[in-house]
């Protein structure tokens, strides 16, 4: 796979708590120059990016990030504001507490609530695989599918572990038709990028891809 094809699948990411506007400008300029799928940024920067770059850039942001345990009403409000500010894609974190309590229906209902708000905007669902058992991961594949989300995503990048090839293979086995896969967390080499894409990931979330491919 050539450089251009790889970058078209990358959500060029900067989600550090201490990210400055200068960091965000660098991210956006790199994304535009390299035609990445999007920039994935904190909600606080969405409007400023949209006002600065307009339609030159696709903005992805995060909701319920990174722990996922805010209530559904808060996630809905975050999502509405993000879209109003100019976001085209939403990466939501599931309520991991609900999963650990076996409340899989509640997780599905929350995803449905955000799906309704997103409408024609892309919704990706972060299930934070590092905290889940195999049984729980399979249950989340079903919840994401049944709720109508566009993507299942492995990780926030802020948990105890990131994407693994084994989890991607598990997703492929249990997600429904039409659900795509995003890998994120710990993807730090060109070999990682190629391996996850070869396994069928339609998106990769990373801050490193542009630098790796320039090297």
The H helix count followed by the E strand count for the chain is 10, 8
Q: Could you confirm whether 120 is annotated as catalytic?
A: no
Q: Could you confirm whether 56 is annotated as catalytic?
A: no
Catalytic residue among 75, 124, 137, 182: 182
Q: Could you confirm whether 91 is annotated as catalytic?
A: yes
What is d(CA 171, CA 121) in angstroms, rounded to the nearest whole number?
22
105: DSSP letter: H
Q: Which residues lie below 8 Å from residue 124, measured CB to CB, with a gap of 6+?
A: 60, 89, 90, 91, 92, 149, 150, 151, 152, 153, 182, 203
Catalytic residue among 124, 150, 153, 167: 153
Catalytic residue among 85, 91, 150, 167: 91
Which residues are catalytic, by number? Answer: 91, 153, 182
């Amino acid at each position: 796979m050539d450089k251009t094809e790889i970058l078209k699948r990358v959500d060029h990411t900067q989600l550090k708590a201490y990210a400055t506007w200068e960091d965000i400008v660098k991210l956006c300029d790199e994304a535009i120059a390299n035609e990445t799928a999007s920039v994935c940024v904190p909600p606080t920067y969405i409007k400023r990016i949209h006002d600065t770059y307009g339609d030159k850039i696709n903005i992805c942001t995060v909701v319920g990030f990174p722990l996922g345990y805010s209530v559904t009403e808060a996630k809905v409000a975050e999502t509405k504001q993000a879209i109003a500010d100019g976001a085209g894609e939403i990466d939501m974190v599931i309520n991991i507490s609900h999963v650990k309590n076996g409340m899989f229906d509640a997780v599905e209902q929350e995803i449905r609530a955000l799906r309704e708000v997103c409408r024609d905007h892309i919704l990706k669902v972060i299930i934070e695989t590092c905290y889940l058992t195999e049984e729980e991961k399979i249950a989340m594949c079903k919840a994401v599918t049944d709720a109508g989300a566009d993507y299942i995503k492995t990780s926030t990048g802020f948990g105890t572990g990131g994407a693994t090839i084994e989890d991607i293979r598990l997703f492929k086995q249990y997600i429904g038709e039409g659900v795509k896969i995003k890998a994120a967390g710990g993807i730090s080499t060109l070999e990682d990028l190629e391996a996850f894409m070869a396994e069928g990931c339609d998106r990769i979330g990373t801050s490193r891809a542009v630098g790796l491919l320039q090297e």
